[in-house]
Amino acid sequence: MFLKMRIDGGKPVPIAVTLKAAMPPGQFPPLGSPERTFDSGVKSYFVHVSGNPVIPGQQMRMRVFVPAGEHADRSLPCVLIAPAGTPMLHGVDLQPHDGYTDETLPYAEAGFVVVQYSLDGGLATGAEMADENEMTGLIGKAYPTFKASGAGVVNGRNALEFATKSLNMVDPDRISCVGHSSAGALALLLAAHEPRIYRCVAFAAAYDLESRMGDMTSNIVMKTIFPGIDGFIRETSPSNHVATIDCPVLVFHARDDSNVPIADAEAFVAKLKLANKAVTYETTPNGDHYQSMIDPGIATAITWLKAD
């Protein structure tokens, strides 16, 4: 597992090995009382998983959105969503009463149960005030924990376990993963390693980490701060896991994306097609890296996820 950073003469530890070693918690807490009820009738719940702190993924927080009304067992589809906005070197915690719901609430209002989940290796409180050098140090401290979780794949797998074991209204055969940017890369990794994923949506994802983060592998200072970074980047690059992505994938990208070039999306889609994978590729002319996902990306994803 990733707790032992490198094995077999320096080869990176596969995420699949990490998943087998980092078992999910034996039991999950109940939903409890709603944290918030939205005007649409959607209810959100905040869940704190408190398992063995030594095992990756057993100290997690999840925010669950449940569509309005009463629901029969196994009647609703579900989407798993991780927070975006990381350099794929550290995780993200979730906080109670967080008002940001732009990437989650629309799915619940469209009839999906939504499980938003934290990622191991979140930055310390107050990190947003750090300067560049301080931030690099903080990320370096969080990196081993994030690495131990298989770049968050363990967290995603545990969110899926929670959905199947604790949310009776969820249809276990219709659990999909969705993500934007860094979370889009994680969604692709989760789809590649978890056969129970029904469909995967990647908005403006970091498809090729070796190309995107390659400069770090030749920087001695960075390699000191982030041990094993070259192998970690290889192992967590979605482009290197195309062969094991067996569910249908929606790749959505803006042509004016200034963060991830449209050429990266086209290259990744070409790889999927070459491997005879089921891929749908949608683009929008503008909206850049973020707004294109909000509109029209999420509506496009909802339509695609609901299609037979």
- What mean pLDDT is predicted for residues 275-287? 98
Q: Tokens representing 47?
A: 């869940």
Give the ranges where the chain is alpha helix by DSSP (H).
Answer: 15-21, 105-109, 132-148, 153-166, 182-193, 209-212, 220-225, 229-235, 262-274, 291-292, 298-306
Q: What's the pTM?
A: 0.94
Q: Residues, the chain, total?
A: 308
What fold is seen in the domain 6-306? Rossmann fold (3.40.50)
Are the C-beta atoms of 248 and 286 separated by less than 8 Å?
Answer: no
d(C-alpha 296, C-alpha 202), whole Å: 14
d(C-alpha 53, C-alpha 42), whole Å: 32
CA angle 57, 129, 233 (to 5 degrees): 45
Q: Which helix (H) or strand (E) holds 76?
A: strand 76-81
Buried/exposed 33-62: b ≥16 CB within 10 Å, e otherwise: eebeeeeeebbbbbbebebeeebbbbbbbb
pLDDT in tens, 76-85: 999 999 999 9
Are the C-beta atoms of 245 and 198 separated by less than 8 Å?
Answer: no
Q: How confident is the model at residue 1 (pLDDT cuts 50, 70, 90)?
A: very low
pLDDT in tens, 206-216: 999 999 997 88
